[in-house]
């Protein structure tokens, strides 16, 4: 590593160290979320979810939002929502579309997308695989067959493998977590049942595992909800200290469980409960990451910080740290007295890094001895929200600050870095200069640099207020997901950029 690269690694990455490799949803503003990302055979792969804002309008009508932020057809299947997988070859600095979901005949006898999103990716070599393969979890629309898992040996050809034994009402699953020679997953959303509250609530809270995805020999490795009825979904998993950790969605506050694995079903131990004693405002464990001998947990409230169905929030997210002995620290968040003693944020930052709009700490990753954490911010939606139903004191405060000013300064997501978990520095606080980047959806460390991918649902057109106060839809070249890459080290002997 040359002196410039060593200096960058020592101080961590700043916004100036990144360059934009993909903008405007790979040239299509309907590619709203860079929903999954993985490094496979020397290339970066990104799975998109399309038409998120149009889907929200269709699934959860909010007639009080005037106008709707994105010009969306009244019928959701009029939106081109065939999810895509894109591939970036670093040495050629080139993206190409590796896969597009096909159109199939839906239950309405019309053509519908087979998949509308790809929510998880992992690289795994199962019992029937002759080499490590890329596996991708899918999201299927209501009129299509249930979702599947895609498999690729080469990143060029993708074929489905048999799905886990979920009921047909399950519409998606996200995490594909490798542990103990098996892949683990859990249902994430459902079209039926009392639990249907969002696209992040599944029909059951059971983890299934297999050592061979091609054989479909999926087996449950835990009791539903770990025996706790309030655990409605297992949302995220991660491997740390020889254990598989799982974080739940729970209206009384997230729970964190761990297991050493072994024979199925596994033995599980509860590590955290009641949102680390914050309660419902830490409803879900969104992101898990190990760093410097501890497990870090980014929390949140579903639906971007305000879970309407459960009447939780609005609330900003926290970062917790759990040690192998199950003791824990509050790093970013709200101080409180707990059965484990007084907890105050060791970073000095309150929830959301002092940003009330930061509904999730959405993704975390380690790169060159730094921990990076990315947030979601709902401030970009302020111009469209029904403030007439808000408390008067809140409305007065928003008007004092100014909606345009709030969007300008808080509309974009944030990316933070830390070398010890306690002292944090911002990389960007404005979505890399794009207020429509409302979330850091993926962070992946690779030998060629750190890749950061966003969620940006404000394309291809957006409502824009005219000088006379009326609204009109117009093209938004800054809408659609983006992918940023840290600049690779300068080769020895080459001039500094």
- The answer to whether residues 233 and 145 touch, using CB atoms and an 8 Å cutoff, is no
Instruction: Render the burial of 253-272: b for 16+ CB within 10 Å, e for the rest.
Output: bbbbbbbebeeeebebeebb
What is the per-residue pLDDT for 192?
58
pLDDT at position 408: 85
With contact defined as beta carbons under 8 Å apart, do 343 and 330 qualify? Answer: yes
Q: How much is the pLDDT for 60? A: 67
Distances (CA, A) of 414 to 298, 363, 436, 457: 13, 11, 12, 16
Cα gap 278→315, rounded to integer Å: 11
Q: What is the pLDDT of residue 490?
A: 52
- SS3 annotation, the chain: CCHHHHHHHHHCCCHHHEEEEECHHHHCCCEEEEEEEEEECCEEEEEEEECHHHHHHHHCCCCCCCCCCCCCCCCHHHCCCCCEEEEEEHHHCEEEEEEECCEEECCCCCEEECCCEEEEEEEECCCCCCCCEEEEEEECCCCCCCCCEEEECCCCCCEEECCCCCCCCEEEECCCEEECCEEEECEEEECCCCCCCCCCCCCCCCCEEECCCCCCCCEECCCHHHHCCCEEEEEEEEEECCEEEEEEEECCCCCEEEECCCCCCCCCEEEECHHHHCHHHHCEEEEEEEECCEEEEEEECHHHHCECCCCECCCCCCEEEECCCCCEEEEECCCEEECCEEECCCCCCCHHHHCCCEEEEEEEEEECCEEEEEEEECHHHHHHCCHHHCCHHHHHHHHHHCHHHHHHHHCCCCEEEECCCCCEEEEECCCCCCCCCCEEEEEEEECCEEEEEEECCCCCEEEEECCCCCEEEEECCCCCCCEEEECCCCCCCCCCC
CA nearest to 53, candidates 36, 32, 35: 32
Residues 6+ apart with CB under 8 A from 76: 51, 54, 55, 57, 58, 59, 141
Break the chain into its structural domains and give their ranges. 82-220
User: How do residues 11-54 score in pLDDT, each as one tens digit?
Assistant: 899 999 999 999 999 999 999 999 999 999 999 999 999 999 99
d(CA 204, CA 165): 11
Contact between 307 and 283 under an 8 Å Cβ cutoff? The reply is: yes
pLDDT, position 497: 39
pLDDT confidence of residue 252: 97
Count the Cβ atoms, other than its own, within 10 Å of residue 381: 18
Question: What span, in angstroms and rounded, lies between the C-alpha atoms of 348 and 217?
Answer: 48
pLDDT digits (tens, 9 = 90+) for 284-341: 999 999 999 999 999 999 988 888 888 888 899 999 999 999 999 999 999 999 999 9
The residue to which tokens 């992918």 are assigned:
483
Per-residue pLDDT of the chain (497 residues; tens, 9 = 90+): 444 455 556 689 999 999 999 999 999 999 999 999 999 999 999 999 999 999 988 876 555 677 999 999 989 999 999 999 999 999 999 999 999 999 999 999 999 999 999 999 999 999 999 999 999 999 999 999 999 999 999 999 999 998 888 888 899 988 999 999 999 999 988 775 444 445 778 888 999 999 999 998 999 999 999 999 999 999 999 999 999 999 999 999 999 999 999 999 999 999 999 999 999 999 999 999 999 999 999 999 998 888 888 888 889 999 999 999 999 999 999 999 999 999 999 999 999 999 999 999 999 999 999 999 999 999 999 999 877 767 787 788 888 889 888 988 888 999 999 999 999 999 999 999 999 999 999 999 999 999 999 999 999 999 999 989 899 999 999 999 999 999 865 554 444 43
């Amino acid at each position: 590593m040359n002196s410039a690269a060593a200096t960058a690694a020592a101080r961590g990455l700043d916004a100036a160290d990144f360059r934009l490799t993909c903008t405007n949803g790979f040239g299509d503003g309907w590619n709203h979320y860079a929903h999954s990302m993985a490094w496979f055979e020397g290339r970066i792969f990104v799975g998109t979810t399309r038409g998120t804002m149009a889907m929200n309008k269709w699934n959860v009508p909010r007639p009080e939002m005037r106008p709707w932020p994105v010009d969306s057809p009244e019928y959701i299947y009029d939106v081109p929502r065939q999810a895509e997988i894109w591939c970036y070859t670093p040495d050629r600095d080139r993206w190409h579309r590796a896969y597009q979901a096909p159109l199939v005949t839906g239950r309405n006898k019309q053509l519908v997308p087979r998949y509308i999103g790809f929510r998880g990716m992992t690289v795994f070599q199962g019992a029937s695989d002759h080499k490590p393969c890329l596996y991708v979890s899918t999201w299927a629309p209501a009129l299509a067959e249930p979702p599947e898992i895609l498999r690729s040996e080469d990143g060029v050809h993708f074929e489905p493998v048999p799905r886990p034994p979920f009921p047909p009402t399950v519409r998606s699953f996200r995490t594909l977590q490798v542990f103990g020679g098996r892949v683990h997953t859990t249902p994430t959303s459902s079209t039926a049942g009392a639990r249907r509250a969002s696209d992040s609530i599944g029909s059951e809270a059971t983890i299934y595992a297999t050592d061979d995805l091609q054989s479909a020999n999926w087996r449950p490795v835990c009791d539903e909800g770990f025996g706790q009825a309030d655990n409605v979904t297992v949302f995220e998993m991660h491997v740390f200290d020889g254990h598989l950790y799982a974080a739940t969605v729970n209206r009384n506050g997230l729970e964190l469980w761990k297991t050493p694995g072994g024979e199925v079903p596994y033995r599980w131990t509860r590590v955290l409960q009641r949102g680390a004693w914050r309660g419902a405002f830490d409803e879900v464990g969104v992101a898990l990451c190990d760093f410097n001998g501890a497990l870090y947990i980014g929390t949140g409230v579903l639906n971007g910080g305000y879970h309407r169905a459960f009447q939780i929030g609005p609330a900003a997210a926290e970062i917790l740290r759990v040690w192998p002995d199950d003791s824990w620290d509050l790093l970013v968040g709200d101080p409180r007295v707990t059965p484990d003693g007084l907890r105050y944020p060791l970073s000095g930052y309150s929830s959301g890094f002092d940003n009330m709009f930061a509904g999730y700490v959405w993704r975390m990753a380690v790169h060159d001895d730094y921990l990076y954490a990315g947030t979601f911010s709902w401030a970009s939606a302020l111009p469209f929200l029904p403030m007439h139903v808000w408390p008067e004191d809140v409305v007065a405060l928003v008007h004092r600050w100014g909606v345009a000013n709030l969007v300008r300064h808080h509309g974009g997501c944030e990316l933070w870095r830390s070398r010890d978990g306690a002292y944090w520095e911002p990389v960007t606080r404005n979505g890399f200069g794009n207020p429509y980047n409302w979330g850091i959806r993926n962070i992946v460390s690779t030998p060629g640099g750190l890749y950061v991918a966003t969620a940006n649902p404000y394309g291809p057109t957006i409502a824009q207020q005219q000088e006379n106060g009326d609204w009109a839809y117009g093209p938004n070249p800054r809408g659609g997901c983006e992918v940023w890459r840290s600049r690779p080290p300068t080769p020895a002997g080459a001039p500094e950029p």
